[in-house]
Chain A
């Protein structure tokens, strides 16, 4: 298997699905780039280069550069999905959902239910998220909990190139609106990715590491930080299981609960702000359904209840770190 970057894995997924199904279109700001300009046509290939080369193969009728107009991008994609296309809309930064939330929350997410089961909305909204680039408070947030809260949406958050490709192909083939979130710090991450097309199902967590002393649940970039902490803990004789849910809606509760049955200790690592977060949700599920298995209080390691700061010093302090996870795990290990 070839080593492929997270970015290229996403590109492969889009390309293979666009070849497979002529109803798949890509819509967004600069998904090709260069429309109407005096330079080259495929100038950007998306702000992170994920859609590079698609316009050359599929043309501007299927790789649609739009104005900077998020409500119209997402609304148009939702309306197109409802009427027979399978659009992949790119929102660039997930922070921009703030300018088009109605089209996601009140429109796309609701059609099927409001219309008595008769609507099908095969829509994918891609966006990058996450801190670590000193991009400031409006380009660094981790907002998957907002989408996870909304019935009718599916929320997908890959942590590896393999999952990025398989989950994106699954998302494009899915008949419901899918919010597909890519952590900004993962685009250059390389991993084994099969050349052929494959899907990774939603609602199936990936157990990244097995250990009997505690269960760490983490998503996206935080899975890598958690694995780093788990290695350090192993040297101290504490063995952690690390679980990546991969999708927060649907959420694979069974795999988490099963692991708690073994370890009795839960640490949730989440780059989001803590209030009403995915970390809170996982903690609540375990508290409600595995109370008797717990040997220690549930711990959450999250970003603080603040916006993402600009200065690198502050931003580093904002992001959950491996030492913080280690310290929390050491505390949990004392309970028996």
Chain B
């Protein structure tokens, strides 16, 4: 599949912005300025971007506890996200959600979800809305390899097949559910083969490489919009950080970590490829790097300047009416 220069630039820019955002969140966390838990997406950028480049604001995604990358790829404002992660009133969720509950419904981002396997049933609901209202929208459920073993995704996949919903299940297999290897925990050793058993097209791609993800998603999205029902994509990838910020990762060998960081970095790989092919130039990419760094520095500065939510906010937004 040929991508034009604008698409390549967009892919690189979005991956770079995600990485820059996450590395700044890491810095903030280490400095003790982030309340609660944070799970970083660094190393998995090719998946969020390869998938979300096929979507527009009217399409839906449901995310995971590792949701910053999905949010940015779906168009969420990094400033609003950083404010939220630092618990500020000006955050995307008014400081009431935090890293694990970032949502932006106007952009079709139905929420990070701190329950592993929590999103897929909700996402098929968004797909049901699309089908019922004949809106041509699609809904994507991101889940990890850990979540791939939850009954909720099995139920959601079966329902999506039975009702022929425009849903796409994307499993980001980063090799570990918290600290337990997918090799151990995924009984079939193969989440895609398991998904195929539910009666939908299921493919496996290298999630460290933007291009195969983008191509697999092109097929899935075309099928969904044409009324052809759900699809499944398993994208293998590797976390650059641990399960959470501060995870000592003793369950991974030093060699494996080095491989993830130095050999399989999806952004480095993308850059190498488009430079080698001559499709993009180093100065173009460097300029994206510079702008991205500036944007994310500004997001951090804005987040530091944000204000704490007023105490009355504790009691509001429980109900629409009560």
**What residues make up the interface of A, taking CB atoms closer than 8 Å to B?**
23, 25, 61-62, 64, 66-67, 69, 71-85, 87, 102-103, 106-107, 110-120, 151-152, 154, 174-176, 203, 250
Does the CB pair B103–A71 fall under 8 Å?
no
How far apart are the CA atoms of A103 and B125 in the complex, in Å? 12
Does the CB pair A75–B319 fall under 8 Å?
no
Q: List, sorted by A's number, 29 A–B pairs whose CB atoms are closer than 8 Å.
A: A25-B132, A72-B121, A73-B159, A75-B155, A76-B121, A77-B125, A78-B125, A79-B62, A80-B129, A82-B122, A83-B125, A84-B129, A85-B125, A85-B129, A85-B132, A85-B133, A87-B125, A102-B152, A103-B118, A107-B113, A111-B111, A112-B320, A113-B96, A114-B97, A120-B320, A174-B321, A175-B320, A203-B322, A250-B322
Which B residues are in CB contact (< 8 Å) with A111?
103, 111
Residue among B92, B101, B111, B129 having the largest count of chain A Cβ atoms under 10 Å: B129
**Considering only CB atoms, which chain A residue lies closest to B163 in the complex?**
A64
Which B residues are in CB contact (< 8 Å) with A118?
93, 103, 105-106
Give the contacts of B58-73 with A (CB-CB under 8 A).
Answer: 60, 62
Cβ of B266 under 8 Å from chain A? no
Does the CB pair A80–B318 fall under 8 Å?
no
Does the CB pair B159–A67 fall under 8 Å?
yes
How far apart are the CA atoms of A72 and B156 in the complex, in Å? 5
Cβ of B91 under 8 Å from chain A? yes
**Considering only CB atoms, which chain A residue lies closest to B130 in the complex?**
A83
Which B residues are in CB contact (< 8 Å) with A81?
125
Does the CB pair B121–A103 fall under 8 Å?
yes
Which A residues are in CB contact (< 8 Å) with B320?
112, 120, 174-176
Does the CB pair A76–B96 fall under 8 Å?
no
How far apart are the CA atoms of A125 and B166 in the complex, in Å? 24
Does the CB pair B319–A71 fall under 8 Å?
no
Q: How far is the CB of B299 from chain A (nearest CB, A)?
A: 18
Known contacts A71-B151, A72-B159; is A117 also within 8 Å of B122 by CB? Answer: no
Cβ of B95 under 8 Å from chain A? yes
Does the CB pair A114–B155 fall under 8 Å?
no
Interface contacts beyond A69-B155, A107-B115, A176-B321: sample of 13 additional A-B pairs, CB < 8 Å, sorted by A: A62-B132, A76-B125, A79-B122, A79-B124, A79-B128, A80-B125, A83-B126, A102-B152, A103-B152, A117-B317, A118-B105, A152-B319, A174-B321
Does the CB pair B111–A115 fall under 8 Å?
yes
Residue among B91, B113, B316, B322 having the largest count of chain A Cβ atoms under 10 Å: B322
Q: How far is the CB of B188 from chain A (nearest CB, A)?
A: 20
Which B residues are in CB contact (< 8 Å) with A67?
155, 158-159, 162
Q: How far is the CB of B167 from chain A (nearest CB, A)?
A: 10
**Considering only CB atoms, which chain A residue lies closest to B109 in the complex?**
A115
Which B residues are in CB contact (< 8 Å) with A119?
103, 105
How far apart are the CA atoms of A87 and B103 in the complex, in Å? 21
Does the CB pair B91–A116 fall under 8 Å?
yes
Which B residues are in CB contact (< 8 Å) with A23?
132-133
Cβ of B120 under 8 Å from chain A? yes
How far apart are the CA atoms of A66 and B123 in the complex, in Å? 16
Q: How far is the CB of B99 from chain A (nearest CB, A)?
A: 12
How far apart are the CA atoms of A152 and B115 in the complex, in Å? 17
How far apart are the CA atoms of A54 and B123 in the complex, in Å? 26
Which A residues are in CB contact (< 8 Å) with B60?
83
How far apart are the CA atoms of A85 and B130 in the complex, in Å? 10
Cβ of B110 under 8 Å from chain A? yes
Cβ of B186 under 8 Å from chain A? no
How far apart are the CA atoms of A209 and B213 in the complex, in Å? 67
Which B residues are in CB contact (< 8 Å) with A154?
319, 322
Known contacts A64-B163, A114-B101, A115-B103; is A72 also within 8 Å of B158 by CB? Answer: yes
How far apart are the CA atoms of A5 and B257 in the complex, in Å? 67
Which B residues are in CB contact (< 8 Å) with A87?
125
Q: How far is the CB of A304 from chain B (nearest CB, A)?
A: 33
How far apart are the CA atoms of A119 and B105 in the complex, in Å? 7
Give the contacts of B134-155 with A (CB-CB under 8 A).
Answer: 139, 151-152, 155
How far apart are the CA atoms of A118 and B113 in the complex, in Å? 16
Does the CB pair B121–A79 fall under 8 Å?
yes
Those 9 A-B pairs whose CB atoms lie nearest each other, nearest first: A79-B125, A75-B121, A116-B94, A79-B122, A117-B317, A116-B93, A72-B155, A175-B320, A80-B125
Does the CB pair B152–A75 fall under 8 Å?
yes
How far apart are the CA atoms of A21 and B160 in the complex, in Å? 25
Which B residues are in CB contact (< 8 Å) with A85?
125, 128-129, 132-133
Which B residues are in CB contact (< 8 Å) with A61?
132
How far apart are the CA atoms of A25 and B62 in the complex, in Å? 22
How far apart are the CA atoms of A113 and B94 in the complex, in Å? 9
**Considering only CB atoms, which chain B residue lies closest to A89 in the complex?**
B125
What 0/1 pattern do residues 298 to 322 of B give for CB contact below 8 A with A? 0000000000000000001111111
Does the CB pair B96–A106 fall under 8 Å?
no
Which B residues are in CB contact (< 8 Å) with A152?
318-319
Does the CB pair B96–A116 fall under 8 Å?
yes
How far apart are the CA atoms of A25 and B128 in the complex, in Å? 10
How far apart are the CA atoms of A88 and B91 in the complex, in Å? 32
Which A residues are in CB contact (< 8 Å) with B113?
107
How far apart are the CA atoms of A224 and B114 in the complex, in Å? 43
**Considering only CB atoms, which chain A residue lies closest to B110 in the complex?**
A82
